[in-house]
Structures are given as C-alpha cells and as structure tokens.
Amino acid sequence: MNQIMLNLLQYGPWLVVTKGGDSCRRLADRHYSRQTVGSPQFTRPGRNLVLRTALGMQYGYLVRPAG
C-alpha cells in the first residue's frame, strides 16, 4: 500500500464543505477537464469528504465507500 504525505498546514486552515460547494465547483471548472462544465457536483457520486482552504485556492476530496 502506498501513502502520500502532504503538509496541508502550509496552505492555511482547511474547511469541510459540501460536494456541491460553489467555490470548489468554479475552481474545478477552470482547472480540470470535466464531462459537464458547470455541473453542480464536481466529485463522483456517493459519500465524499470535501476540504477547501479558507482562501478558496485549493480543494481536495476523499471518496468514502457507501454503507
């Protein structure tokens, strides 16, 4: 199993947001190839943990298994 070590504190405080969060969706529209630009959700269906920096410059998400 591989693990990635990130220093998340270098980006400032992180906030838990919804997977339909407007600031993250706009960031995804600008920087990633999406099947549907402007789609209200930018993650895959299911349970996700979405984090965004307080300044809204970075975001990330973890996919959680259903159940």
Block mean pLDDT (10 aa), the chain, length 67: 68 85 84 80 84 86 77
66 vs 19: CA distance, rounded Å: 15
Answer whether residue 20 is part of any domain.
yes
pTM of the model: 0.69
pLDDT at 3: 65
Question: Helix (H, G, I), strand (E, B), or coil: what is residue 9?
Answer: helix
Answer whether residue 3 is part of any domain.
no
Q: How many domains does the chain have?
A: 1
For 59, the domain range is 12-64
By the 8 A CB rule, do 50 and 59 touch? Answer: yes
Answer whether residue 2 is part of any domain.
no
pLDDT at 4: 65
